[in-house]
Amino acid sequence: MILSQHKNSLIEFDELQKVLSFEDVKVIDFRKPQHYQKDHIPGALNVWRSHIRSKNFPYSGMKASKEEVELLFSDLGIKNGDWIIIYDDMGLCDAARLWWLLQLYNYDKVQLLNGSYSRWKENYEATSNTLPIHKTNFKFEKDPDYRMYIDKEGVLNSIGKKLILDTRTTDEFSGKRQKKGAYKGGRIPESIRIDWAVAVNYHGDRKMKTIEELKEAYKEVLKYKEDTIITYCQSGTRSAHTTFVLTQLLGMKHVQNYDGSWIEWSYFNDLPFEKDSITTIFE
Ligand SMILES: O=S(=O)([O-])[S-]
The ipTM estimated for the assembled molecules is: 0.87
SS3 content of the chain, % helix, strand, coil (to 5): 35, 15, 50
Structural domain boundaries of the chain?
A: 4-123, 149-282
Spatial distance between the Cα atoms of 211 and 216, rounded to a whole number of angstroms? 9
- Say if 4-123 and 149-282 have the same CATH topology: yes
Q: Which residues are 127's β-sheet partners?
A: 40
pLDDT tens over the chain, length 283 residues: 444 444 579 999 999 999 999 999 999 999 999 999 999 999 999 999 999 999 999 999 999 999 999 999 999 999 999 999 999 999 999 999 999 999 999 999 999 999 999 999 999 999 999 999 999 999 999 999 999 999 999 999 999 999 999 999 999 999 999 999 999 999 999 999 999 999 999 888 889 999 999 999 999 999 999 999 999 999 999 999 999 999 999 999 999 999 999 999 999 999 999 999 777 788 7
* 131 CA distance to ligand 1 middle (Å): 31
Superfamily per CATH, domain 4-123: Rhodanese-like domain (3.40.250.10)
Whether the CB of 237 sits within 6 Å of ligand 1: yes
Ligand 1: nearest atom to the Cα of 168: 3
Cα–Cα distance, 77 to 140 (Å, whole number): 14
152 ligand 1 Cβ < 6 A: no
Altogether, the residues listed in the chain come to a count of 283
CATH code that applies to domain 149-282:
3.40.250.10
From the CA of 79, how far away is ligand 1's center (Å)? 29
In angstroms, the CA 163 to CA 252 distance is: 13
CB of 233 closer than 6 A to ligand 1? yes
If you measure from the C-alpha of residue 71 to the centroid of ligand 1, how many angstroms do you get, rounded to a whole number?
24
Whether 236 and 127 have beta carbons less than 8 Å apart is answered as no
